[in-house]
Amino acid sequence: MAENETAKIPKEYADDRVNDTKTRDVVVKMMKERGVELSDIAAITYGLQGKYIPGLSEKTCLEHVERVVMKREVQNAILTGLELDKLAESGAMSEPLRGMLLEDYGLYGVDEVLALAIVNVYGSIGFTNFGYVDKTKPGIIKKLDEIGKNTDQCHTFLDDIVGAIAAAAASSIAHRYAG
C-alpha cells in the first residue's frame, strides 16, 4: 500500500502521543477570545511560503497551522503565554512583572523564549522565519502590537506565539514539499 501518498499527515508527525484534540479546542478558543483566528495565522504562513512554493494555497497553510496546534509542546506554550497576558490585564499579577508585561518592556525577552518552544518543534527553518515575522510584523501581529500599545489589553506573549505558530507551520510546509 502506498501509505505515504494517502496519509494526510506524514508519518513522522502522526504520533498520537503528541496529538491532543481536547486541548487543541481549548487553545483555539483562547486565541479566538484574544482576537486571533487560525486563518489569521495561516495568512502569515502563506506570506512566508507562498512565493517559494508554486500552487500553495491558504487552505493548505491552514492545514499546517492546524497540525502545529495539535502538538502538546505548542499547546502548553499557548496556555502559559495567554494566561500570563490575561493575568497582567486582570491585575492579579505582582510587580514588577505586571508592569513589564503591560508595557511590553523590550528587555523582558521571556515572551520570545517561550515562543521558541513552538518554533523548536519543526527545527531550524522555523528560527529564520520566526526572526523574520518578529521583525516585519505582518498581518494580525501588527494589529496585536498596536492594540497592546494603545489599549489596556496585553499581547506581550500572544504576538510572539502567533509568529511562532506561523513560522512552525511554514517549516512544516517546507518539510512536506522538500521531500
Considering the rule CB under 5 A, would residue 85 count as an interface residue with Ca ion? Answer: no
Q: What would the grid cell of residue 156 be?
A: 506581550
Residue of the chain from 20, 40, 85, 111 that contacts Ca ion (CB under 5 A): 111
Residue reference for cell 498581518: 139
Distance CA 109, CA 123 (A): 21
CB of 63 to Ca ion, least distance (A): 27
Q: How many CB atoms lie within 10 A of CB 156?
A: 22
CB of 98 to Ca ion, least distance (A): 15
Q: How far is CA 164 from CA 17, 52, 123, 169, in A?
A: 22, 19, 12, 8
Q: Which one of 4-12, 87-95, 104-112, 127-135 is the stretch in contact with Ca ion (CB under 5 A)?
A: 104-112
Q: Nearest-CA neighbor of 85 among 100, 101, 69?
A: 101
Q: Which one of 14-22, 82-90, 108-116, 128-136 is the stretch in contact with Ca ion (CB under 5 A)?
A: 108-116
Closer residue to Ca ion in complex, CB, 19/76 = 76
Within 148-167, the residues that bind Ca ion by CB under 5 A are: 156, 159-160
Closer residue to Ca ion in complex, CB, 63/145 = 145
Q: How big is the site for Ca ion, counted in residues (CB under 5 A)?
A: 4
Distance CA 158, CA 115 (A): 9
Interacting residues toward Ca ion by CB under 5 A: 111, 156, 159-160
